[in-house]
Every structure is written in structure tokens, then in C-alpha cells.
């Protein structure tokens, strides 16, 4: 045998066991935690007046994603996560699903829990859904989740679990009447689920807290932790975040006791920026300022500025994710293909994805393969970032164009549109291209129909087809 052949055979002999081990490695458990309306700066590792030791430990031992983008509001972000596609592709780009509205993620969209279930995962949603409640076909148990517990809509009272006087609290499609603080109940149910399950089978748990969304409510023992905060809303807001942090600690402890923690990939992020405008403040029951802090970024929830769309985010998986900051652009639509790849799951049957596998960026800090961020595309506005250049275009009159270099000016304080007409034109063209691909807004369709009646004449707008589909 020639030396080179002998050497090659020796190398293959060494690699074969490693390849076999890689193929037989257990699929990771996935714990996907979403906070609701959490400010970018409202975590302990960025703020001195908040206490989030569990989140801070996950951050110090994992990757902090400093450029993790979401949609500017709740329903669109959660839809983007579940589909790996921009919400404009299927009509969920605008606002949220209101209690009286019946639409949701269209049934021809294949969702993340369906993909993971096909790969052998147990799938559970514990917490807020807000992706369709008016028809049981749209509920989580019908969209790939084996187990469901929590709220179907969005903003509910933390103690009564009601919205507009109606209980919104379910387990496996059955309405529940039970006492307790929402955040605590969600954490306890997640712990119970972990304790009872077969640890040998991979788990996908979507733990979707309602905290710290309005109304600002917390048990008094949590509020008392923050007596040094003078503003009453900020004090209760901090208490709500602390309660969430305690429940995350309990869930991680349950995973540890079950022998699952070392093989559990944990993702944590907010669904949008913290609330800075009263228009998106919901049920505020106490006096004081809006409490969220989005750090250096402009505005907040509902806005296409960085404060509305850049979320507090981290990923933690012992031995698999390099600790440190990842200052690379990523988008929530990237999570579906990334998690599917780590789970050994196929994405066959999905609609064309907007997301990409960004695992090397998350786990090793490699350059992001994502060259474009689509903040949102709606019939009246849009924003796109390519490289460091971001264009926001308000199309309603008076129209407004804003161009920012977000690397040099993350606070979007200096509009450079007048000095860079070529860049403005290129990004306007891109926004218009995307707008031509978008589906009509289901929110605006439902809103106008509720006011005008199902068979009333459609209102006359220059782009009337954005409101009503053909045949309506």
C-alpha cells in the first residue's frame, strides 16, 4: 500500500467514529422564550435599576444578539417566527389581531411546530398565541402544537385572565377558570410539563410570556423589590420583568433536574421594542410615564425606527454557542430555518422562506449571511436596510423619506436622504418591489368590513385593492 493511501485510510478510520457520533447525537431540546413589549435596555445586563439575574446569566454564558430584528408589533413578529416569512407575504403585516377579528395565519402556511413535530419533537406552547382565535382551525393545537396552555389573544388582565370581560385562558382548547398571576402560572405549567415528559424525546417549548405588556400589574411582593424606583409604572414594569425572570429560572432548574439542560438550546427575545407612544400603550391603569427604555434607539413599539424593531435577544446552549456579543444583522424570520437545521428537520412543504440558516453567526460570531433587513412593508409605509443604509418611506401624504447610516447613527438622528439621492432611489425601488409582492392587509380588510358591512360598497382609494380582495 502506498503511504498516501495508508494515510488516507488512517484518517478515514479516525473520522468514521466522529461522523457516526454526529449522526447519533441527540436532537437538541429547544426552549424558545418570548417577552412581550420588553424594551431593548430593560434587562439587568444593560440596566442598573432592573433585576434579571437569570436572563443575565443566560446572556453572560451565551450570545447576546445586538442586531436582532423583529416586526414592530406583536402579531407580525410571532407570525414571522412561526412561518420563517415576512408577514406581508400573507396579510399579517399591519397592527395586531383584535378580539373581535377572525383572521389569523392562513392555513396554507406550514409552521415551525409542524416542521419540528415531523422531525420527532414533542411540541408545546405555553403562553400567548395571538395568531388567530376566531376559528378553532387557527388555534395552536390545530397548527402543530401537541400541548397548549395560556391566552389565545393578547392583552389580558394578569389576575382575572379576561379581556373586555371575557376569559381568555385555555388548556388544550378548553377554557379554564383558575386563579393566579399569569406570569407565575405560565412558569409553573412549563415546569410541570418538563417534569412529566419523557426526557429521551426532543422537546420544542414555545414559552410566550405576556410580560411586561400592559396592563401594568404585578404581585405586591415583586413591586416591593423596587421601592427605589419613584415612577409607579416603571416600578411595576420592573416587577413584572422580575417575575418573568424568576419563572425562567424555575424552568431552567426543571430542565437541570430532568437531565435536559445541557442539551437544551435556549432563545430569548422580545416581540418588539418597548412602548414609547400612548397609541400603543393599551390598558394603563396607573399614573406615570411610559416605562420602557429602548436604549440608544429612537421611538418604540409600532414604529419602524430601531426602537420599535431591534429587540433584546440572546441565545444560550452550553458547549455549542460561543459566549459574547454578536453585532451582526439577524431577523426573526431566520429562526425557523436555523432551528430546523439544528433539529435535523426538513422544511419541505413550507412556502418560500425569507429566512436563512444563521447558526454560524449565532454560535460563532461569523459574519451574517443576511445582507438585507425588511423592517416591514405596508400600503402606507415601508422600511428596508441594506448594509448600513436604512430607508424609511412614509407614503401617505405628506410623504416622508428618511435615510440613515444605522452603524454610525443608531439613534436615527440625522436624515441623510438629501445628500444621497442615488441610495434613496435604489432603496425606494426595493421597497416598491416588495410592496408589489405583498398580500392585502387582513387587519384593514376586517376593519373596513366591520364598519361598512360585509356587502357595503368598498371605499375609493388610489390603491383600493390593498383593502379588499377581488370578489369582495
Q: Reply yes or no on whether the pLDDT at 92 is more than 80.
A: yes
Angle separating helix axes 232-257 and 182-196, nearest 10 degrees: 10
The predicted model gives 359-374 an average pLDDT of: 98
Output the 3-class SS for the chain: CCHHHHHHHHHHHHHHHHHHHHHHCCCCEEEEEEECCCCCCCCCCCCCCCCCHHHHHHHHCCEEECCEECCCCHHHHHHHHHHCCCHHHCCCCCCCCCCCCCCCCCCCCCCHHHHHHHCCCEEEEEECCCCCCCCHHHCHHHCCCCEEEECCCCCCCCCCCEECCEECCEECCEECCCCCCHHHHHHHHHHHHHHHCCCCCCEEEEEECCCCCCCCCCCHHHHHHHCCCCCHHHHHHHHHHHHHHHHHHHHHHHHHHCCCHHHEEEEEEECCCCCCCHHHCCCCCCCCCCCCCCCCCCCCCCCCCHHHHECCEEEECCCCCCCEEECCCEEHHHHHHHHHHHCCCCCCCCCCCCCCCCHHHHHHCCCCCCCEEEEEECCCEEEEEECCEEEEEECCCCCEEEEEECCCCCCCCCCCCCCCHHHHHHHHHHHHHHHHHCCCCHHHHHHHHHHHCCCCCCCCCCCHHHCCCCCC
pLDDT confidence of residue 278: 79
The predicted model gives 202-227 an average pLDDT of: 97
Task: Tell me how far apart the alpha carbons of residues 217 and 74 are, in angstroms, rounded to a whole number.
Answer: 19
Domains 26-371 and 378-437 share a fold: no
pLDDT confidence of residue 365: 97
pLDDT confidence of residue 21: 41
CA distances 193 to 10, 109, 182, Å, are 47, 27, 16
Would you call the peptide bond into 398 cis, given omega within 30 degrees of 0 as the criterion? yes
The predicted model gives 84-91 an average pLDDT of: 98
Q: Reply yes or no on whether the pLDDT at 470 is more than 50.
A: no
pLDDT digits (tens, 9 = 90+) for 321-348: 999 999 999 999 999 999 999 999 999 9
Q: Reply yes or no on whether the pLDDT at 143 is more than 50.
A: yes
pLDDT confidence of residue 448: 82
Q: What is the CATH number of domain 26-371?
A: 3.40.720.10
What residues does each domain of the chain span?
26-371, 378-437, 445-472
pLDDT confidence of residue 280: 80
The model's pTM: 0.92
pLDDT digits (tens, 9 = 90+) for 179-201: 999 999 999 999 999 999 999 99
Q: 277 pLDDT band (50/70/90 cuts)?
A: confident
Q: Reply yes or no on whether the pLDDT at 449 is more than 90.
A: no
Q: Reply yes or no on whether the pLDDT at 203 is more than 50.
A: yes
Q: Reply yes or no on whether the pLDDT at 11 is more than 50.
A: no
% of the chain at pLDDT higher than 90: 85
Q: Reply yes or no on whether the pLDDT at 293 is more than 90.
A: yes
pLDDT digits (tens, 9 = 90+) for 239-258: 999 999 999 999 999 999 99
Residue tagged active-site, from 130, 133, 213, 331: 130
Q: Reply yes or no on whether the pLDDT at 463 is more than 90.
A: no
CATH classification for the domain delimited by 378-437, as one of 3.60.15.10, 3.30.420.40, 3.30.1120.10, 3.40.50.2000: 3.30.1120.10
**378 vs 458, residue with greater confidence:** 378
Residue 74 among the catalytic residues: yes
Q: 301 pLDDT band (50/70/90 cuts)?
A: very high
pLDDT confidence of residue 17: 45
Q: Work out the mean pLDDT of the chain and round it to a whole number.
A: 91
CA distances 130 to 24, 119, 315, 378, Å, are 37, 25, 24, 20
Q: 24 pLDDT band (50/70/90 cuts)?
A: low
pLDDT confidence of residue 7: 44
Burial class (CB in 10 A: 0-12, 13-18, 19+), 425: exposed
pLDDT confidence of residue 468: 45
% of the chain at pLDDT higher than 70: 89
Q: 283 pLDDT band (50/70/90 cuts)?
A: low
The predicted model gives 144-152 an average pLDDT of: 98
Q: 6 pLDDT band (50/70/90 cuts)?
A: very low
Amino acid at each position: 500500500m502506498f503511504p498516501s493511501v495508508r494515510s488516507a485510510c488512517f484518517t478515514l478510520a479516525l473520522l468514521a467514529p466522529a461522523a457516526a457520533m454526529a449522526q447519533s447525537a441527540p436532537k437538541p431540546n429547544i426552549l424558545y422564550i418570548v417577552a412581550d413589549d420588553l424594551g431593548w435596555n430593560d434587562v439587568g445586563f444593560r440596566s442598573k435599576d432592573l433585576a434579571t439575574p437569570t436572563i443575565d446569566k443566560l446572556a453572560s454564558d451565551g450570545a447576546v444578539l445586538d442586531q436582532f430584528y423583529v416586526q414592530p408589533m406583536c402579531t407580525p413578529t410571532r407570525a414571522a417566527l412561526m412561518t420563517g416569512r415576512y408577514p406581508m407575504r400573507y396579510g399579517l403585516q399591519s397592527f395586531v389581531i383584535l378580539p373581535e377579528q377572525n383572521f389569523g395565519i392562513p392555513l396554507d402556511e406550514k409552521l415551525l411546530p409542524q416542521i419540528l413535530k415531523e422531525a420527532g419533537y414533542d411540541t408545546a406552547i405555553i403562553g400567548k398565541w395571538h395568531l388567530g382565535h376566531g376559528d378553532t382551525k387557527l388555534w395552536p393545537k390545530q397548527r402543530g402544537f401537541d400541548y397548549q396552555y395560556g391566552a389565545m389573544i393578547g392583552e389580558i388582565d394578569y389576575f382575572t385572565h379576561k379581556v373586555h370581560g371575557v376569559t381568555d385562558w385555555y388548556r388544550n382548547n378548553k377554557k379554564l377558570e383558575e386563579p393566579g398571576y399569569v406570569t407565575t402560572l405560565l412558569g409553573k405549567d412549563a415546569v410541570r410539563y418538563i417534569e412529566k415528559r419523557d426526557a429521551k424525546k426532543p422537546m420544542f417549548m414555545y414559552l410566550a410570556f405576556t410580560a411586561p405588556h400592559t396592563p401594568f400589574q404585578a404581585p405586591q411582593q415583586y413591586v416591593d423589590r423596587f421601592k427605589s424606583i419613584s415612577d409607579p409604572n416603571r416600578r411595576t414594569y420592573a416587577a413584572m420583568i422580575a417575575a418573568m425572570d424568576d419563572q425562567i429560572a424555575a424552568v431552567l432548574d426543571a430542565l437541570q433536574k430532568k437531565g435536559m439542560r445541557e442539551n437544551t438550546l435556549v432563545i430569548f427575545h422580545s416581540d418588539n421594542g418597548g412602548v414609547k407612544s400612548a397609541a400603543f400603550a393599551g390598558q394603563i391603569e396607573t399614573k406615570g410615564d411610559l416605562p420602557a427604555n429602548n436604549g440608544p434607539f429612537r421611538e418604540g413599539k409600532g414604529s419602524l425606527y430601531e426602537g420599535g424593531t431591534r429587540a433584546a435577544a440572546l441565545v444560550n446552549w452550553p458547549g455549542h454557542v460561543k459566549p459574547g456579543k454578536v453585532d451582526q444583522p439577524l431577523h426573526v424570520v431566520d429562526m425557523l430555518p436555523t432551528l430546523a437545521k439544528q433539529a435535523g428537520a426538513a422544511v419541505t412543504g413550507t412556502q418560500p422562506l425569507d429566512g436563512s440558516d444563521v447558526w454560524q453567526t449565532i454560535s460563532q460570531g461569523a459574519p451574517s449571511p443576511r445582507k438585507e433587513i425588511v423592517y416591514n412593508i405596508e400600503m402606507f409605509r415601508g422600511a428596508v436596510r441594506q448594509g448600513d443604509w436604512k430607508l424609511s418611506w412614509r407614503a401617505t401624504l405628506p410623504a416622508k423619506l428618511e435615510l440613515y447610516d444605522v452603524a454610525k447613527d443608531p439613534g436615527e438622528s440625522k436624515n441623510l436622504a438629501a445628500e444621497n439621492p442615488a441610495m434613496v432611489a435604489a432603496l425606494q425601488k426595493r421597497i416598491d418591489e416588495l410592496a408589489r409582492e405583498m398580500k392585502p392587509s387582513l387587519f384593514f380588510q376586517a376593519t373596513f368590513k366591520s364598519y361598512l358591512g360585509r356587502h357595503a360598497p368598498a371605499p375609493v382609494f388610489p390603491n383600493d385593492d390593498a383593502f379588499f380582495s377581488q370578489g369582495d
